[in-house]
Amino acid sequence: MSRTKLTAAGIVLPVALITTLLGFLLFDEDQAACIPAGSAVVVDPGSVPAGPVAGFSGEQLVNAAYIMAAAASMGLTVRDQQIGVMTAIGESALRVLDYGDAAGPDSRGLFQQRDNGAWGTLVQRMDPYESALSFFRVLVQVNGRDSMEPTVVANTVQRNADPYYYARFWDPAGEIVQALAGSTTTAQQPVTSSSVYELGPVQPQTAVVANTIGPMFGITTVGGWRDPATEVYDPNGHPAGLALDFMISDIPDGVATGDRLADYLIAHAAELGVSYIIWQQRIWTASRPAEGWQLMEDRGSPTQNHMDHVHLSLTGDGSSALSAGCGATNQQGQVTAGGWSAPASGPISSGFGPRAGGMHYGTDFAPPCDAPIWAAASGTVTFAGPASGYGNWIKIAHDGDVVTTYGHMFTEGVLVRVGDVVQAGQQIGRVGTAGDSTGCHLHFEVLTSGSYVDPLPFLNQHGVQIQGAQS
């Protein structure tokens, strides 16, 4: 494909001309959610002032140029560009952050976008151009934004607790937008190169899997391509760009994380295109799943025996769903006429009542790890994060002085944050086994007027039919 240069003026051109220059980059919302990993636009760093500009320099200004280019590709105004830059200053200081905060532990990127299905895949959230496109797609839906204070517009998109939080960044954003008027961007086909890890010349599927799965489990180092001359065991793995090594030796609780990662890869083997997994001197082969883990020969060292990393080999035929962002597990729970939903699929592994000399104040649902957790009814999230024996939990306040609680999620399984307004049946998390837990399950509680009630008959009374519930 030929490459088209967008000059400084191109960043603020009217929509008609933008369409002429970037027609192949303008897509509807569904198409945009399904573009491959990697940016459709590349900023020329040499065209960006070194800075400092308003206290920002280098990579920060390049990221601001990406935001401006994304707005321009949608035909948005200079004011909208400035709002985007202002917001990113407030969220990340114009850096692509690979971590969140207490309020949003799964938040990532320039705009601290969450893993809730609304902002694309992790790879897209970590891409400055793609994440900016996601931001502006919501911004254009803000009615009357041109007459609203910029900070209120930003807050409407981001739902920050303080609607005036971003106001302090408006003037610096204006300086940056003005200074970057001479920046150039190159329009190109989306690429699939690594944006999170240094993987070398791996296959597109491999890069997407690494950049999506690795950060989910807090992996800081991932090995990719390897010179064929150094490969002893599988020339169709690392040398072919179809293998990854997720290192666990440099992260806290590495072995436990490796166990969870290996289980996740097995559970999602089909969609990821898994050929085999090696972990702790054992191998699991996708073509023979019934065999389970098989002990391997001793290769002489912890690394060769895969004690310090989870090895993943791919077929190269993985589903496009992961790379496209169209396979997000934002499944919808079935909602009754009364506005309630089961919080998870079954079976029921433990009910409400006395247990082991104490009281079990909830009902345990036991679907597989990473199965969706749904909001039992519409309401507002009042807590989302660590909770001692619950691992990580979510609390939702509903009408009628009803509160529901969802426990034992891993950190990456919490998909909402405090203040979010959720709908009945909306996915809010993924099943885990964090905290005081012996296996993956959802611990679900219902409180009415501050008192615990048995969730199963309560749900039954609201039209949710769950096996084991009393009428």
User: What type of residue sits at position 316?
Assistant: G
* Whether residues 82 and 151 fall in one domain: yes
* Whether residues 8 and 99 fall in one domain: yes
Stretch 190-202: mean pLDDT, rounded? Answer: 58
* Whether residues 297 and 413 fall in one domain: no
* Domain CATH for 440: 2.70.70.10
Secondary structure (DSSP) of 204-236:
HHHHHHHHHHHHHTT---EE----GGG-SS-TT
Stretch 36-45: mean pLDDT, rounded? Answer: 56
* Whether residues 168 and 60 fall in one domain: yes
Dist CA 46 CA 81 (whole Å): 21
For 320-360, what is each residue's pLDDT tens digit?
334 333 333 334 567 888 889 999 987 788 889 988 778 99
Structural domain total, the chain: 3
Q: What is the mean pLDDT of the chain?
A: 80
Confidence class for position 92, pLDDT limits 50, 70, 90: very high
For 399-450, what is each residue's pLDDT tens digit?
999 999 999 998 778 888 888 888 888 889 888 888 888 778 899 999 999 9
Which range marks the domain in which residue 225 is found? 204-323
Stretch 281-298: mean pLDDT, rounded? Answer: 94
With vertex at residue 384, the alpha carbon angle to CA 455 and CA 210, rounded to the nearest 5 degrees, is 115
For 149-185, what is each residue's pLDDT tens digit?
999 999 999 988 899 999 999 999 999 999 988 665 5
Domain C-terminal end among 289, 323, 357: 323
Confidence class for position 192, pLDDT limits 50, 70, 90: very low
Percent of the chain residues past pLDDT 70, beyond the cut: 83
Number of helices (H) and strands (E), helices first, in the chain? 13, 21
